[in-house]
Structure 1
Amino acid sequence: MKKTKVIVLAENALTTPGRLVRYINSLNQPVLVKETCFGAYIEGEEDLVDTLAQKIRNFERNRIFCKDRGYAIWDKRRCRAFRGGGPREGFHQLEAEQRVLDKVGLALDNIDKNGIMPIDQLRAKEEELIKRESKIPVEEFKKIIDKVLGSKNEA
């Protein structure tokens, strides 16, 4: 059975889409590869695509991400070449996902370096952040506003 995967580069990846495609082609596997502005698509037999996706991710660990795509690369219902241009359905979602991948990669780097934080430590940090970021009472907020506006009026 055929499968298509989306290969997405994080913003802080050293690899470019062109370099990524050259690397995939250098693996000399029977897959179809298409360069995109965010990385590439690969399409081929399901097991091979899954195996290649893992190898591709390791090319630049924590900076290359993969997900399944529901349509073939040249599917006329989705391909801009057949639809007259414009962004394809789901492009803006993919664009939003790509914007956070650099942060996900840095978090994965941290896990690689320090291991996974035990859940009790994680919960303690979460509680600390919630306390620190908790809402202030309305009266205190009004005092802050008065102080700021008062100092501007005096200047």
Structure 2
Amino acid sequence: MKTKVIVLADNAETTPSKLFRFLNSLNYDINVKETCFGAYIEGEDDVVDEVTNIVRNLEKNKIFCKDRGFPIWDKRRCRAFRGGGPREGFHQLEAEQRVLNKIAEALDEIEKEGILPMEKVDEEKIEKHKLDIKAFIKIIDEELK
């Protein structure tokens, strides 16, 4: 038995409810739970892996999947059994989800332009200078907005 977390990038056209309906329309023996960031799917290992591949191809580079250590409705993690509040790890997942649109854009760019192999990078042409910590913080803050 395997459980996967499916997380949608902010710039994905698929919504959690569309994803939920799509997953339930598939003819696979899986359990599906809609979440605010996407969905959980659960089933036999090979079935979950196959469904994961189908889902990721809906919007390549904008739908991300990872394993979840607990089954859906696990009493140790589910808010319904713990009296509410965010589950352990939710804030980490929330932080990860916020940067997925940047990762999606980078993956799209790599597919379009390709990756320059390191052996073809002319090290002498790369500008090397120290970046002021305040400038670095400003760049990070602007990118996370």
TM-score normalised over the length of structure 1: 0.79
Identity %: 65
Structure 2: gaps of 5 or more residues: 134-145
Please list the CA deviations of residues 116-139 of structure 1 after superposition, one character each: whole Å capped at 9, or x if unmatched. 2212456849942x42x5349xxx
1:9 is matched with 8
1:85 is matched with 84
1:134 alignment partner, one of 108, 131, 134: 131
1:115 is matched with 114
Query: Could you tell me how far apart the structure 1 residues matched to 2:18 and 2:10 are?
Result: 15
Which AA in structure 1 matches 2:102?
A: K
Which AA in structure 2 matches 1:105?
A: A
Query: Could you tell me how far apart the structure 2 residues matched to 1:126 and 1:6 are?
Result: 42
> In 2 relative to 1, CA 75–113 (structure 1 residues): closer, same or farther, beyond 3 Å?
same
The answer to whether the aligner puts 1:94 opposite 2:88 as a matched pair is no
Query: Could you tell me how far apart the structure 2 residues matched to 1:117 and 1:55 are?
Result: 29
Secondary structure at the counterpart of residue 59 of structure 1: coil
Between Structure 1 and Structure 2, which shows a larger proportion of helix residues? Answer: 1
Structure 1: gaps of 5 or more residues: 137-155
Which AA in structure 1 matches 2:111?
A: D
Q: How many residues align?
A: 133
> In 2 relative to 1, CA 25–115 (structure 1 residues): closer, same or farther, beyond 3 Å?
same
Instruction: Pick the structure with greater CA Rg.
Output: 1
> In 2 relative to 1, CA 97–121 (structure 1 residues): closer, same or farther, beyond 3 Å?
farther
2:65 is matched with 66
TM-score normalised over the length of structure 2: 0.85
1:18 is matched with 17
Deviates more, 1:28-37 or 1:119-128: 119-128
